[in-house]
């Protein structure tokens, strides 16, 4: 066969010589017999048997490394958590409306400053380092942070519509100050802190949120918050509750009240408060 290729003549299966086309076909057939190729094969009319046809696959292009969408969001979130920088032990982020109400009630006579902020608020971000400094210099003051983006519905119920926004609460007085300020008007914050942060003795338990605020939170169906308006109870029971309150009684009980406490009374009624 090799000799036939060299001479340029290939014998036909029907006999006789063939022309140039026949020579070309013969050369291709001869090569197919002598070269083994991988892949799948098909039957041919050539007497040599099967001719292998290799399937040529395209080589995949190299991919440039890209961050997954979840990883990108995580990176953005981490870079935006400026409100967690410089946090002092007396600073804490509020988790829910119930958490806010309970924190104010359990603060006792401490001054509590509620800081309403948003991660995308430029004024909040610029003011945060100074708030952290105030918290460091006033360890007896409790700072509660409320993320507006997490608790929009609660903020609406509390009538917070501008940021940054601050509310000051102190013992039995409840809310003592409420305002918005920025770096340019930080003096308002300093004055309120100096006025309401001084040592004092509160005549009664912590009041916390106003009754109107509590009712607004309870009426908000988006929140898991319940509140029942207090009713009237007998005077003797009210005196007993006051005496049993932490740190109570807040005022010395008169002789008549002590007598009612020992004997009991059903006719005089007082409001229980909260």
* Known active-site residue 121: yes
- Annotated active-site residue in 6, 77, 121, 201: 121
Distance CA(107)–CA(227), nearest Å, equals 19
Q: Which of 55, 28, 21, 56 is nearest to 44 (CA)?
A: 28
Whether 155 is catalytic is no
Nearest to 158, CA basis, from 143, 142, 169, 172:
169
CA–CA separation, 261 vs 145, rounded Å?
Answer: 42
The residue annotated as part of the active site, out of 124, 155, 181, 201, is 124
Which residues are identified as catalytic?
121, 124
């Amino acid at each position: 066969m090799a000799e036939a290729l060299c001479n340029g003549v290939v014998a036909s299966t029907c006999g006789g010589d063939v022309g140039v086309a026949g020579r070309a076909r013969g050369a291709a057939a001869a090569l197919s017999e002598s070269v083994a190729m991988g892949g799948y094969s098909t039957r041919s009319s050539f007497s040599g048997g099967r001719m292998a046809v290799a399937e040529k696959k395209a080589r995949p292009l190299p991919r440039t490394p890209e961050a997954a969408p979840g990883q990108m969001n995580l990176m953005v979130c981490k870079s935006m958590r400026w409100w967690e920088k410089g946090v002092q032990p007396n600073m804490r982020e509020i988790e829910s409306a119930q958490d806010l109400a309970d924190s104010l009630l359990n603060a006792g006579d401490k001054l509590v400053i509620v800081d309403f902020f948003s991660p995308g608020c430029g004024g909040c971000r610029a003011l945060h380092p100074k708030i952290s400094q105030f918290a460091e210099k006033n360890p007896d003051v409790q700072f509660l942070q409320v993320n507006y983006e997490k608790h929009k519905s609660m903020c609406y119920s509390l009538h917070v519509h501008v940021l940054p926004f601050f509310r000051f609460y102190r013992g039995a007085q409840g809310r003592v100050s409420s305002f918005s300020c920025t770096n340019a008007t930080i003096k308002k914050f300093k004055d309120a802190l100096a006025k309401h942060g001084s040592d004092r003795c509160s005549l009664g338990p912590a009041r916390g949120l106003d009754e109107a605020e509590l009712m607004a939170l309870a009426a908000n169906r988006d929140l898991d918050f319940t509140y029942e308006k207090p009713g009237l109870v007998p005077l003797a029971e009210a005196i007993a509750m006051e005496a049993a309150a932490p740190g109570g009684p807040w005022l010395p009980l008169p002789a008549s009240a002590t007598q009612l406490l020992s004997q009991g009374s059903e006719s005089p009624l007082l409001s229980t408060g909260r």
